Amino acid sequence: MDVMEDVFTWVAVAFESLGTLAMVVGLLIAIVLGIRAIGRGDPGEEIFGIVRRTLGGAILLGLEVLVAADLVRTITSKPSIEDALILGIIVLIRTVLSISIQIEIDGVLPWRRAVVTSGATVVAHEVRRDAAAAKASDK
């Protein structure tokens, strides 16, 4: 049984690392997109929006992965009311953060969106938008 606990512990650590990596890579992508927008001469308000949406999407993605890590951690721990309460509080806090960030990015409540947009989709959208803007400025 100790081997399984070790495996799930490593899986949880891998999820935590992946969540953190998603946020760090998203920050770097946001910075690069911001610098590229500055180079194209985009207005400051547009640059701010690009960086904000991209970073927000990366944080959303990271939070989603960190919630998965918390769920995996509960598998490895001995079941207790205290552990369940701690997990519930952590998931609640991360969920509230995710909803708040999603509202900031989309400008509407998540359940009012016509299309479900994940954090990864937001980052990918900003990268595609930057590529299209770069193509347009090359012409």
Q: Is residue 111 part of a domain?
A: yes
Return the higher-pLDDT residue of 23 and 116. 23
Residue 112's pLDDT band (cuts 50, 70, 90): low
State which residues form the domain around 17.
Answer: 2-134
Q: Does the pLDDT at position 98 exceed 70? A: yes
8-state DSSP, 133: H
Q: Is residue 36 part of a domain?
A: yes
Q: Which residues contact 18 (CB under 8 A, 6 or more apart)?
A: 65
Domains of the chain: total: 1
pLDDT at 118: 67
Query: If DSSP states are collapsed to H, E and C, what string results for 32-66?
Result: HHHHHHHHHCCCHHHHHHHHHHHHHHHHHHHHHHH
Q: Is residue 70 part of a domain?
A: yes
Q: Is residue 139 part of a domain?
A: no
Residue 91's pLDDT band (cuts 50, 70, 90): confident
Q: What mean pLDDT is reported for the chain?
A: 85
